[in-house]
Amino acid sequence: MLYTQNVHGITVVRDDLLHGGTKGRYFRILLEQANNLVYASPSCGGAQVALACSARECGKKVHIFVTARAIEHARTRQARSYGATIHTIANKHGGQVRLNVVVARARNFAANHGYTYLELGGASPAMCAAITAAAQPLGDVWHQVWCAAGSGTLTHSLQMAFPQAAHYAVRVGGPLGPGVGGHAHVLLSEVPLWVLTRTLPPFPSSPHYDAKAWLLCHRHTRRAVAEGQRILFWNVLGN
C-alpha cells in the first residue's frame, strides 16, 4: 500500500511511514532466495536498516560492511540492534576508507563463505519489478516524477511504472551505472551524500538522501505546479 500527501502542490509518496522505507518493502523478496546476505553500505546509508529489519522478520542473517567512524552512525547502530552483523572497515594509514574498498571486502567475504552478495541499493531485476508493481496503481498520469538516485534502482523502476512522464533523478552518491538512469534527467545534488542538508522538507525525510532531492524538486517545479501539472516525488526514507 502506498501513502501519499499533497505538499505545495506536489504529490509525495510517503514511504518514510513504512518500517525500513521503500527498500524495506522489497528486501523480503530477496531474502526468500538466500539464508545469508552480505551488503556494503555507506555509513549513513538507509538500506542497511531496511535490510537488517527485513532479515530479522524473515529469520535470516545479514552481514553489513561499513566504513569505520570515530562515532558509529545512528543507522549502523540501528541495523546492529536488529541483529545484523556489522563489519567496520578502517584505513590502516588513517583517513576515510573509500566505498569501493568496502564493497571489495564485502564481495570477498561473501565469496569465501558461500554467501549471497547484495549489490549497492539492493539493485536487482526483482527489486525493480517489485517497485514498479507497487507504483503502478498511482496511474501513469504524471507530468514529472522526481526521486533521489544512489544506485539508480528507484528511478529505473519508476520509469517503467510511468513511461509517459518526464523523470528527474537527483544524484546523491557516485555516478549511476551505465544505462541505470534510463532516460531520466540527472541532476547533481548540491550537498554531498555524507553531509547532512540543513534544508528539510515539511515531512520526515533523510537529510543524507531524499531531502536533497526534494530541495531541487520543489525549486524546479514551481512553475509547473502553478500551471497545474501533476508532479510526483518519491520519498524513500525518514530521518
- Determine the pLDDT at residue 10: 98
pLDDT in tens, 31-85: 877 788 899 988 877 788 888 988 888 888 999 999 888 888 888 998 999 999 9
- Determine the pLDDT at residue 166: 97
- Determine the pLDDT at residue 176: 53
For the stretch 123-127, contacts whose Cβ atoms lie closer than 8 Å and that sit 24 or more positions apart, written own/partner, are 123/151, 123/152, 123/153, 123/177, 123/180, 124/30, 124/153, 126/26, 126/29, 126/30, 127/23, 127/26, 127/29, 127/30, 127/153, 127/157
24 pLDDT more than 80: no
Average pLDDT score, the chain: 87
Bigger pLDDT: 21 or 231?
Answer: 231
Q: Report yes or no on whether pTM surpasses 0.85.
A: no
pLDDT in tens, 142-167: 999 999 988 788 999 999 999 999 99
- Determine the pLDDT at residue 215: 94
Distance, CA of 208 to CA of 226 (rounded, Å)? 29
pLDDT in tens, 82-122: 999 999 988 776 667 788 889 999 999 999 999 989 887 66
Residue 169's pLDDT band, with cuts at 50, 70 and 90, is very high
List helix spans (H) across the chain: 21-31, 47-58, 74-81, 99-113, 125-135, 153-161, 210-220, 222-226
Q: Region 8-23: what's the mean pLDDT?
A: 89
Cell numbers 523502476: residue: 157
- Determine the pLDDT at residue 130: 86
Q: Which three cell numbers stand for residue 129?
A: 519489478
Q: Region 193-199: what's the mean pLDDT?
A: 75
Distance, CA of 145 to CA of 217 (rounded, Å)? 9
Q: Region 208-229: what's the mean pLDDT?
A: 94
8 pLDDT more than 90: yes
Which of 26-30, 39-43, 173-177 has the lowest average pLDDT? Answer: 173-177
